Structure 1
Amino acid sequence: MTRTNSGEDARLISRSKTPEEQQFEIIDYDSTNNSQRQKKVSSTTPFSRALKLLRLEHSTADAMPVESARRTWDKTSFVFFWITDSFNINTIQLASTGLLNHTLSTKEVILSILLGYSIVGVFIHISARIGTYNHISFPILCKVSFGLNGAIWPVLNRAVVGGVWYAVQCWIGGQCVQLILKSMFYEYINDDEGNNHGNWSDHFSFEMISFGIFWIVSFFAILIPPHKLKPLLTLKAYVVPFAALGLLGWTLFKAKISDPVEPDYHTSIHESKDHLKFWTFVTSTMNSVANFSSLILNASDFSRFANSPKSIEYTNIICVPVCFTLTSLIGILISSASRKIYGVAYWSPLDVLDRFLKDVDNDETEGIITLSTRIGVLLIAISFIIAQVGTNTANSLGAATGLSCLLPNYITIRRGGIICAMFSLIIQPWRFFESSNKFTVYLSAYSVFLSGIAGVMITDYYIVRRGYLNLIELYKLNGIYSYDQKLKVNWRAYVAYIVAIVPNLPGFVNACGGFGEEKSMIMETIILIYEFSFFVGFGTAMIVYLMLCHWWPVEGIVRDTSFLNLKANWLEEWKYVEDFDSLILDMEEDSSFNNVYD
């Protein structure tokens, strides 16, 4: 499509749909700009040649609003999405950590998790609604609150978190591979005393080989185009819940438990003081919230595909607490039953399966594990690998979406996924699992640095702007969301974000072992703030951002809609974005309009 203006300027929008994505680019044919571009291309430096080699013929279309043809998610889609997402080993592991300090009973841990995920469901719904009505992804939505260049840090932050989760799930998947190898080659990987990898020269080498095998499997999975992932996710939805329930039934049978939630099975639980129980309950609840801190931030990445506002009306608020609490319940019951069987509560279902392989019943000859046990462990481990691969495709897509919007001319969804996979090797995920405590420390760190971003974005949309967004302005280089013509950063958002981090820093440093054992009473009190890290960060960012917007109002607010005016109208509307590229072309072509993704 070509359009001229007085014979001087021409803009061309090239659109081509590949199996991986619909791609979009605006090309400026102004003679001056063209000569400058030719000069850049003719550069002979190695760096410029590398950039020319990597530069895409078309920039990514993921930055554009989702048109109706791709908005295919209805209520059923979101229900199955949450069912599929909830069944993963990490959720089971996280739930079991509440039992490890012997402070809470099984029922109390379940209640804390239900409360945590109920809170999460509300936040997910609030965040997802923005993407549903405006059909844009998190990286684009970030520019409304933080500015065109200011959005770089939040988007990069989210991409890094996606990479961290990818690495974590890869390491857990490697543990599944270990179980498969042990069940298939038990005689070669176990010694006579039941200690695993007895014939391997080094235990860590065995773990790394297993990790490498899963990493390769997961790597090939992320090369699959997103629109072709449905068979994998459907397979996960059918297989993994039955595998988890099968492991639960197996564990309860071995423990001979009739009522798995009875506190009598906590043989080592002690009568705890009320204040100790309270703070343990808070920690268990907040772990559930921290587990979702990244998804709360980028809920619009999937909600933008909703075909109507009714698609997310109650699905997030109901399905998130129900699905994730049921999955957590499975983990809690498995951990509780393992305490009954072995006298120790295993926080990971993979540890329970590993222990099953070490069990030798009195009626078994020559101390050989029965074939049925080995087959059972093998099948469950394979099912869990399917779960981990499915989860990792979602993690890589979250990271890749952010990277492709940061560098649309050089990074596609596939390239972003490859970068995410390479990043997972650099951060050494095995260090996260040296203990369950260290794992939850890293988990809590996410909410410290992400809650402030969520607080700014949600406050800006719902309170400051009352639901009003101008999508066209988001694609202007010098539009209202540039804020500062030089830096193109909304300084109010960054001040609120930085201030929101400060209250949680002492507790975070303490959790990492920075303050040692002896601390003053004042420091002890300050550290307790960290237990509510997500709420503290979110609330602080909201209050500070509102104050700054009151004293220094932001651009793009409709007249007479100050957030202090409680009678002002709600301005949110379902955006019409069909042929959005044509809408951009129909604008007056002057020096003030340059497409951000050109």
Structure 2
Amino acid sequence: MGALAPVLINQPDIARYGHSYGDVTWSQGFGILTSKVLVMFLSTATTAAATQVLGQSYWNVWDLYDAILDQYWTAGARAGIVFASFGMMLAVLVTNAGSNSLPVGADLTGIFPRWLTIVRGQVLCAILAPLLVPWKIIASATAFLTFLGSYTVFLMPICACMIVDYWLVRKGNLHVPSLYTTASESPYSYCKGWNMRMLAAWTAGVAFTVHGVAGSLDADSVAEASKNMYKLGFLLSLFMGGLVYYSLCLIWPVKMVPRGAGGELGFEALAANEGFFDDENVGTITGVREGEEVHGTQHGAADSKGFVC
């Protein structure tokens, strides 16, 4: 579950490259779950098989490769390790680009849009990554599993708020023009840009289970109940964060649409117009710049709100 947590949170950063609804539903839902579960199964099966053949369990794939070459220094074994190593290199590059570099770049761009782009954010991520001393994280299975477990504690409250906000609070309605303005009447401006409900929900979800992290490092540092809560950290932090966020939204209602726009909205009522109201003078969003041609026709000028029609 710890390995799945970052992918669940970073999904919108990857989904932004989809061209249709189908590109980001079945493909991601099936691909992410299957690939993660398959990787975990293959890792466990490989370690178990290697234990029978080599007489020792290797959780780190590089140690496993070394052990294979130590005992089977043959042309076939050496060639196999070469191809396997290239596969691991490709996997590391793709994982860091999709799960780490790209989401960091997208988040930093959202925070500092005046100075950063997604590419600049990715470069900054690569520069700062060594400061996290990742070689210590993968030094042992215990340290690595503790690191993955802490992911769930800190990330799942965010996932819960995303789920509750879309499905229960906003009922699947996002007003697209309001996403691209800093005006105070925007339903996404919150408190000077800070969603205090979500900050409170995240804090509650983390505080509910974070004490168990110490128990995974030092078994005698916390009570047994705390360690058991940490083992269920994925579910407990998810439900606590979602419960607090939904409760706060009931007490402190979220603004759904801009002031004076629309009325009560049904589930995904704005989806048919791609996030616009019927009376708004905007066309389909294509991502094409003003003046460029779309299928042989020139794109129109921007309307009074700054959106290209």
**TM-score of the superposition, structure 1-length normalised?**
0.43
Task: Tell me the equivalent position of 1:458.
Answer: 163
> Structure 1 residue 587 and structure 2 residue 295: aligned?
no
| Partner-residue secondary structure (3-state), 2:52 | helix
Q: Which one has a bigger Cα radius of gyration?
A: 1
> Structure 1 residue 482 and structure 2 residue 207: aligned?
no
Query: Could you tell me how far apart the structure 2 residues matched to 1:524 and 1:454 are?
Result: 27
Tell me, yes or no, if the aligned pair for 2:109 and 2:116 is still in contact at 8 Å: yes
Task: Tell me the equivalent position of 1:311.
Answer: 23
Query: Could you tell me how far apart the structure 1 residues matched to 2:241 and 2:221 are?
Result: 31
Shift of residue 512, structure 1, vs aligned partner: 3.0
Task: Tell me the equivalent position of 1:496.
Answer: 201
Task: Tell me the equivalent position of 1:526.
Answer: 226
Task: Tell me the equivalent position of 2:280.
Answer: none
CA deviations 1:575-595 (Å, max 9, x no partner) are: 132368879952369xxxxx9
Task: Tell me the equivalent position of 1:510.
Answer: 215
Higher relative contact order (CA 8 A, sep 6+): 1
Matches within 5 A, 1:348-363: 348-359=60-71
Pairs aligned (count): 281
Q: Which stretches in structure 2 are left out of the alignment for 5+ residues?
A: 275-283, 291-299
| Partner-residue secondary structure (3-state), 2:232 | helix
Decide whether aligned partners of structure 1 residues 489 and 414 sit closer, same or farther in structure 2, where only a CA change above 3 A counts.
closer
Tell me, yes or no, if the aligned pair for 2:58 and 2:64 is still in contact at 8 Å: yes
Decide whether aligned partners of structure 1 residues 501 and 339 sit closer, same or farther in structure 2, where only a CA change above 3 A counts.
same
Shift of residue 293, structure 1, vs aligned partner: 0.9
Decide whether aligned partners of structure 1 residues 586 and 474 sit closer, same or farther in structure 2, where only a CA change above 3 A counts.
same
Match of 1:425 among 130, 135, 145: 130
Task: Tell me the equivalent position of 2:88.
Answer: 384
Shift of residue 518, structure 1, vs aligned partner: 6.9
Matches within 5 A, 1:107-122: none
| Partner-residue secondary structure (3-state), 1:481 | coil
Decide whether aligned partners of structure 1 residues 433 and 587 sit closer, same or farther in structure 2, where only a CA change above 3 A counts.
same
Shift of residue 305, structure 1, vs aligned partner: 2.9
Query: Could you tell me how far apart the structure 1 residues matched to 2:267 and 2:88 are?
Result: 50
Matches within 5 A, 1:295-334: 295-334=7-46
Decide whether aligned partners of structure 1 residues 493 and 328 sit closer, same or farther in structure 2, where only a CA change above 3 A counts.
closer
Task: Tell me the equivalent position of 1:578.
Answer: 286
CA deviations 1:19-53 (Å, max 9, x no partner) are: xxxxxxxxxxxxxxxxxxxxxxxxxxxxxxxxxxx
Query: Could you tell me how far apart the structure 2 residues matched to 1:383 and 1:569 are?
Result: 44
Q: Which moved more, 1:537-546 or 1:379-388?
A: 379-388
Shift of residue 559, structure 1, vs aligned partner: 4.2
Tell me, yes or no, if the aligned pair for 1:459 and 1:542 is still in contact at 8 Å: yes
CA deviations 1:198-218 (Å, max 9, x no partner) are: xxxxxxxxxxxxxxxxxxxxx
Matches within 5 A, 1:159-238: none
CA deviations 1:387-432 (Å, max 9, x no partner) are: 3223233232222222223222322333222211111211111111
Task: Tell me the equivalent position of 2:294.
Answer: none
Tell me, yes or no, if the aligned pair for 2:215 and 2:221 is still in contact at 8 Å: no
Q: Which stretches in structure 1 are left out of the alignment for 5+ residues?
A: 1-288, 361-368, 562-567, 590-594
What's the C-alpha RMSD, in Å, of the aligned pairs? 2.7
Task: Tell me the equivalent position of 1:344.
Answer: 56
Matches within 5 A, 1:83-122: none
Tell me, yes or no, if the aligned pair for 2:158 and 2:202 is still in contact at 8 Å: yes
Q: Which amino acid letter does the alignment assign opposite residue 398 of structure 1?
A: P
Q: Which amino acid letter does the alignment assign opposite residue 483 of structure 1?
A: Y
Query: Could you tell me how far apart the structure 2 residues matched to 1:304 and 1:356 are?
Result: 42
Query: Could you tell me how far apart the structure 2 residues matched to 1:387 and 1:556 are?
Result: 41
Decide whether aligned partners of structure 1 residues 446 and 403 sit closer, same or farther in structure 2, where only a CA change above 3 A counts.
same
Decide whether aligned partners of structure 1 residues 584 and 450 sit closer, same or farther in structure 2, where only a CA change above 3 A counts.
farther
Task: Tell me the equivalent position of 1:555.
Answer: 255
Query: Could you tell me how far apart the structure 2 residues matched to 1:453 and 1:518 are?
Result: 27
CA deviations 1:223-250 (Å, max 9, x no partner) are: xxxxxxxxxxxxxxxxxxxxxxxxxxxx
Match of 1:434 among 139, 149, 158: 139
Query: Could you tell me how far apart the structure 2 residues matched to 1:501 and 1:518 are?
Result: 18
Shift of residue 488, structure 1, vs aligned partner: 2.9
Query: Could you tell me how far apart the structure 2 residues matched to 1:458 and 1:373 are?
Result: 47
Tell me, yes or no, if the aligned pair for 2:150 and 2:210 is still in contact at 8 Å: no
Decide whether aligned partners of structure 1 residues 458 and 581 sit closer, same or farther in structure 2, where only a CA change above 3 A counts.
farther
Query: Could you tell me how far apart the structure 2 residues matched to 1:290 and 1:525 are?
Result: 20
Tell me, yes or no, if the aligned pair for 2:160 and 2:242 is still in contact at 8 Å: yes
Task: Tell me the equivalent position of 1:373.
Answer: 77
Decide whether aligned partners of structure 1 residues 572 and 449 sit closer, same or farther in structure 2, where only a CA change above 3 A counts.
farther
Shift of residue 572, structure 1, vs aligned partner: 4.9
> Structure 1 residue 535 and structure 2 residue 243: aligned?
no
Decide whether aligned partners of structure 1 residues 569 and 371 sit closer, same or farther in structure 2, where only a CA change above 3 A counts.
closer
Q: Which moved more, 1:429-438 or 1:373-382?
A: 373-382
Q: Which amino acid letter does the alignment assign opposite residue 571 of structure 1?
A: A
Tell me, yes or no, if the aligned pair for 1:497 and 1:541 is still in contact at 8 Å: yes
- Identity among equivalent pairs (%): 24
Query: Could you tell me how far apart the structure 2 residues matched to 1:324 and 1:452 are?
Result: 21
